[in-house]
Amino acid sequence: MALSEQARSRLADIADREPTKNKELQEAWGMESGSEVHQYLEAELRDYYYRDENSLICVTEEGKALIGGAGGESGVAVELSGIEREVFAVVPGPGERSESVVSILHRVEDEFDVDPTVEAVRKALQTLARKGVLEKVMRSVPTYRLALPRSEVELLSADPA
* 131 exposure class (CB count in 10 Å sphere: 0-12, 13-18, 19+): buried
Residue 85 has a pLDDT of: 93
- If asked whether residues 59 and 88 sit together in one domain, one would say no
Domain count, the chain: 2
- If asked whether residues 85 and 64 sit together in one domain, one would say no
Dist. CA 95–CA 72, nearest whole Å: 24
Residue 1 has a pLDDT of: 52
pTM of the predicted structure, to 2 decimals: 0.56
- If asked whether residues 32 and 49 sit together in one domain, one would say yes
Dist. CA 133–CA 111, nearest whole Å: 20
Dist. CA 157–CA 82, nearest whole Å: 9
**Cis before 142? omega within 30:** no
Residue 161 has a pLDDT of: 47
- Domain-terminating residue out of 70, 91, 123: 70
Q: Spell out where 8-93 has E strands.
A: 49-51, 57-59, 76-80
- Domain-terminating residue out of 35, 70, 105: 70
**Domain with 148 in it:** 76-157
- If asked whether residues 44 and 85 sit together in one domain, one would say no
Residues 4-59 have pLDDT tens digits of: 888 888 998 898 888 999 999 999 999 999 999 999 999 999 888 999 888 999 98
CATH number of the domain where residue 111 is located: 1.10.10.10
Radius of gyration of the chain (CA): 17
- If asked whether residues 29 and 80 sit together in one domain, one would say no
- If asked whether residues 26 and 81 sit together in one domain, one would say no
Residue 44 CB contacts under 8 Å (≥ 6 apart), including other chains: 3, 4, 7, 10
- If asked whether residues 126 and 153 sit together in one domain, one would say yes
* 7 exposure class (CB count in 10 Å sphere: 0-12, 13-18, 19+): middle
Burial 94-120 (b: 16+ CB within 10 A, else e): eeeebbebebbbebbeeebeeebeeeb
- If asked whether residues 86 and 100 sit together in one domain, one would say yes
Residues 138-149 have pLDDT tens digits of: 888 999 999 888
- If asked whether residues 41 and 106 sit together in one domain, one would say no
- If asked whether residues 81 and 129 sit together in one domain, one would say yes
- If asked whether residues 80 and 152 sit together in one domain, one would say yes
- Domain-terminating residue out of 41, 70, 99: 70
- If asked whether residues 28 and 96 sit together in one domain, one would say no
Residue 47 CB contacts under 8 Å (≥ 6 apart), including other chains: 1, 60, 62, 63
